[in-house]
Structure 1
Amino acid sequence: MMRILRIALAQVNTIVGDFQGNAALVRRGVEAARDAKADLVVFPELTLTGYPPEDLVLRSQFIDDNLKVLREVVRTIKGIAAVVGFVDRGEDLYNAAAVVSGGRIVARHHKVFLPNYGVFDENRYFQPGKQASTVVLNGITIGVNICEDIWYPQGPTFSQALVGDAEVIVNISASPYHRGKLRFREEMLATRARDNRVIVAYANAVGGQDELVFDGNSLVLDHQGRTVAHGKAFEEDLVLADVDADAVVRVRQHDSRRGKQRLKLQRQGVHVDRIVLSAQHRTARRRPVDEGLPAALNPLEEVYRALVLGLGDYVRKNGFAKVVLGLSGGIDSALTAVLAVDALGASQVIAAFMPSVHTSRESQEDSEAMARNLGIRLLTVPIAPMFGAYRAALAPIFKGRRTDIAEENLQARIRGMLLMALSNKFGWMVLTTGNKSEMSVGYSTLYGDMAGGFAAIKDVPKTLV
């Protein structure tokens, strides 16, 4: 009989610091995986704290709470094995993964490669792990590592597969999205699977956290680098896959390089701890998993889904229910309004049209049509009286100077002031509508159209809008 491992990847949307909410996600994921008769359920990086916890990690109470909720969750995990991300504390702090079985932690992996570039700052908070390990579950050897660990060809995956005889590599991740990354990441994982003759199960986080968006797209790849299971993009999912460990053994038997490479690593002092939970494989009676692969998103849909998820999560995770934005009749504010409706629902979006003496009738008609088509509430607040009052107040000071950008910016600042007044009065978050091209060259007004709580299209160039 083939040694089949059923893996469940619980692609969940965590909230930084919400220990009880994140623990509830783990419990629900464990229950769903158990119902699916999975042998192992895998959660993303730093599941219990949320990612990235940043300076919260520097608070000892935060670490205590994370370890307390880990103990509570571990006690409930029975009848299935699980991999859960948390912050471990020993001589220092570690970005860690707990392997749980029978209501106890049987192994821990400390992240070896700590990213410290771009949006990452993990060297500030964590020490790198030093020791790799494998766990034998139901007669199948599994290596666990974390996010960046698998991006390095000579990283833990290499030693776990070669010295530790891992037939399956489980990688828990919080890999943020950017354009073009999905294909690059899948190709990298496929390379690791092929090079190491190993099955790769990659569980990625999903959801928005501040300026980051995690896209999900969890993957299971066979030892030839072929994708056999694929999580949904930009939404929570439970990804199931049956993987054949015997296929790994068969292909390794024909690879003469492995013995030489293993001996070389062992001579270098590389050692992989081995924890045996169940050495003999027991075949489970269950129907094979055959979920198929989802259709790939086209490039524009991919970006749009990322924007919707990032906007919606930023609003909700910061405790807001409704948003307000200035609607001008232009394309940037129109796109922002559509994103907000798709992220939150039309009833949660309010638009403000704030005409001046320079506003065209077409702009008003377009704004009214946009609001009507989206089904959102439109407030009309003329700014001409306020603009006149500002000019009159400044006239003695500006006397003798020609009208220039100072007066032009007054209009944007009046609109920003009105939007913030609506926010203060009604508790609505203000969405700004500037795109990346404008932001990058400073084509915006400080304390004017830059005023707000979230810039929905700040990373979208005008050519993409």
Structure 2
Amino acid sequence: MLKLTVAQINPTIGDIDGNLALMRAAARKAASEDSQIVVFPELSLTGYYPGDLLDEPGFLAEIERGLNAAIQATNETPDLYWVIGSPVTRSGPGKRLQNALLVLHDGKEVLRYAKQLLPTYNVFDERRHFEPGPDVARILKIGSTRVGFMICEDGWNDAGTDYAVNPCKRLADAAPDIVVSINASPSNLGKREQRHTLFAAASRRNRLPILYVHQVGGQDQLVFDGASFATTPEEGVVFEAKRFEEDVVTLIFENGSFLQNDLSAFSLSVANAVSPMTFYRKQIVLGLRDYARRCGFQKAVVGCSGGIDSALTLALAVEALGGENVVAITMPSRFSSETSIGDSEVLCRNLGIELLTHPIRDIVSAFEVGFLQATGSAPQGLTLENLQARVRGSILMEFSNAHGHLLLTTGNKSEVSVGYCTLYGDTNGGLGLIGDIYKTEVFELCRHINAAEGREVIPRTIIEKEPSAELAPGQKDTDSLPPYSVLDDILKHLIEGDRIGEPEQASVQSRIAELTATETGRALIARIKGMIGRNEYKRRQAPPILRLRARSFGNGRQMPIAARHIF
């Protein structure tokens, strides 16, 4: 029998002392439950992913100090094995660091394993800093149990299609009783189910029980959803930790099975399996909460137009930070409708937040006069539309600077994709909450929030009104864009392709087949392709957005700006 404690913690990148404090607290809890081994996530000492901090000599010295402190801390919990993740130095040709798993016990390092498979796709760039570990299995006997170890990506190649090396097969050859995997796997729609499928298959194929220990929390644009789990060859996934929150829980491994601390069998909860809209909501709330906390913000500000994007952003901000910590600013122009102004007031009343009013009519007029005097021509058309957006962006940044609020941008993925936004205007801010949600999903998420709350948090008039930027008389989004139901299917096809999950795949493929069957449809797809390509420069200068889907803008989709954009 082996008692193991899953320490699903929320480490902060670069906070060596803070992360070590989380580890010590979890280890004390594990010791109090007579656990024999406590397991922390990948790179738990530094947080995932430190990036080019790993090039800083001072940071490397901090890691070394932290490792020594962690080794000494194990003396506080005699007989408890600590499994931690940390960068370690190495000698010889190649990178000077490795992504390592260390087993610490009674003031000593008793095992070291270096990650063999270093991902360099999507949001990952581990080969930038790390050298792969040798193709060997590392086994440690704890009591009468032989424990094998691996790190995250090492378990994703069991089918043997992505790398020449297969750590799962190597572990199977070494025949441990159980495999412990430490992980930092960024969350996106469908990722939890993907992990379950992949690791259950690896467990079954190699006849190895696997304990998958994951981290939780938001780090910049990435969110880690926790949901650590255990799987056996016969039953598949038999245990799952809490999702979207920290969890320290002790399991018993005996005769190839995972049991609860009282030796009863687990009843696998289905609560962690949530709808896409619930997933979006939970991931955004956790991502914003941690981003604000780690960057030193307590309050947020959002430009409130009376439209659906700002309404959704405000509702999510209130859920994450509390109504007392969110301020909305409405900035009506001469093109703003009375309906939009009234909708803003109702929305903020429903959310219990302060609404400030800062009209921009006179400011825009002053710009128009000044531009006319300087150039001989008055701004009009797109120039005048963008001028209004930039005036609003400046006011929001002015408030942020004056009061220390985090400015949240409100652009959705559909608009960001085709450049239906104004650089230095509505793209101003520190974080985008809904930049990885398509416009049709924005409507769906608003309805979901109202249904979940049992009341009209977001006014029905906002959800049902025809989308408009209100930067020109009678302006509608459909003046320059196809209907969002059509646009979003095209965008999913062009941006995400085969990364789209099965529930969406059929409808997207059907739409694309319908469009490609006509000359008009093919021309529309070509036009959208061009719009995506031409607006890469805007996305490069926009604030980070919280990643929700398999392929998001930012470091998950690295495209050139100055190039012929061929998709």
State the TM-score, normalized to the length of structure 2: 0.73
Cα distance in structure 2, aligned partners of 1:327 and 1:8: 46
On the 8 A contact 1:157/1:169 being kept in 2, the answer is no
Pairing of 1:310-389 with structure 2 (within 5 A): 310-389=287-366
The C-alpha deviation readout for 1:35-80, integer Å capped at 9, x for no partner, is 2322211110000111000000111221221121122122222231
Counterpart of 2:467 in structure 1 is none
Counterpart of 1:112 in structure 2 is 116
Counterpart of 2:268 in structure 1 is 293
On the 8 A contact 2:289/2:320 being kept in 1, the answer is yes
Summarize the Cα distance change of 1:305–1:55 in structure 2 as closer, same or farther, 3 Å threshold: same
Question: Relative to total residues, which structure has the larger strand share, 1 or 2?
Answer: 1
Cα distance in structure 1, aligned partners of 2:235 and 2:201: 6
Cα distance in structure 2, aligned partners of 1:287 and 1:316: 37
Summarize the Cα distance change of 1:342–1:65 in structure 2 as closer, same or farther, 3 Å threshold: same
Q: Secondary structure at the match of 1:149?
A: helix
The answer to which structure, 1 or 2, has the higher relative contact order (CA under 8 A, 6+ apart) is 1
Summarize the Cα distance change of 1:209–1:369 in structure 2 as closer, same or farther, 3 Å threshold: same
Summarize the Cα distance change of 1:206–1:246 in structure 2 as closer, same or farther, 3 Å threshold: closer
Cα distance in structure 2, aligned partners of 1:69 and 1:445: 45
On the 8 A contact 2:371/2:377 being kept in 1, the answer is no
Q: Secondary structure at the match of 1:464?
A: helix
Q: Secondary structure at the match of 2:83?
A: strand
Summarize the Cα distance change of 1:107–1:181 in structure 2 as closer, same or farther, 3 Å threshold: same
On the 8 A contact 1:229/1:241 being kept in 2, the answer is no
Counterpart of 1:29 in structure 2 is 26
Shift in Å, 1:398:
5.5
Shift in Å, 1:348:
1.2
On the 8 A contact 1:213/1:309 being kept in 2, the answer is yes
Cα distance in structure 2, aligned partners of 1:17 and 1:142: 30
Counterpart of 1:275 in structure 2 is none
Which residue, 16, 19, 23 being the options, matches 1:19?
A: 16
Shift in Å, 1:401:
6.0
Cα distance in structure 1, aligned partners of 2:201 and 2:34: 29
Which residue, 204, 207, 218 being the options, matches 1:197?
A: 207
Pairing of 1:46-445 with structure 2 (within 5 A): 46-77=43-74, 78-91=78-91, 92-130=96-134, 131-153=136-158, 155-162=166-173, 164-245=174-255, 287-288=262-263, 292-294=267-269, 295=271, 296-397=273-374, 399=376, 403-445=380-422
Q: Secondary structure at the match of 1:450?
A: coil
On the 8 A contact 2:100/2:114 being kept in 1, the answer is yes
The C-alpha deviation readout for 1:126-174, integer Å capped at 9, x for no partner, is 0000032100001101111101001111622321232x22111111010
Cα distance in structure 2, aligned partners of 1:157 and 1:184: 17
Q: Secondary structure at the match of 1:175?
A: coil
On the 8 A contact 1:357/1:384 being kept in 2, the answer is yes
Aligned positions, number: 425
Code of the residue aligned with 1:435 in structure 2: it is N
Identity of aligned residues (%): 42
Summarize the Cα distance change of 1:63–1:225 in structure 2 as closer, same or farther, 3 Å threshold: farther
Cα distance in structure 2, aligned partners of 1:237 and 1:104: 26
* CA-based RMSD: 1.7
Cα distance in structure 1, aligned partners of 2:440 and 2:36: 48
Code of the residue aligned with 1:293 in structure 2: it is L
Summarize the Cα distance change of 1:224–1:60 in structure 2 as closer, same or farther, 3 Å threshold: farther
Counterpart of 2:547 in structure 1 is none
Cα distance in structure 2, aligned partners of 1:400 and 1:381: 27
Shift in Å, 1:102:
2.0
On the 8 A contact 2:369/2:378 being kept in 1, the answer is no
Q: Secondary structure at the match of 1:170?
A: strand
Code of the residue aligned with 1:298 in structure 2: it is S
Structure 2 unaligned segments of length 5 or more: list them: 161-165, 443-567
Summarize the Cα distance change of 1:109–1:446 in structure 2 as closer, same or farther, 3 Å threshold: same
Cα distance in structure 1, aligned partners of 2:58 and 2:264: 42
Q: Secondary structure at the match of 1:217?
A: coil
Cα distance in structure 1, aligned partners of 2:191 and 2:217: 16
Summarize the Cα distance change of 1:160–1:67 in structure 2 as closer, same or farther, 3 Å threshold: same
After TM superposition, where is structure 1 displaced by more than 3 Å over at least 4 residues in a row?
245-248, 289-292, 397-402
Shift in Å, 1:371:
1.0
Code of the residue aligned with 1:157 in structure 2: it is C
Structure 1 unaligned segments of length 5 or more: list them: 249-285
Shift in Å, 1:233:
1.3
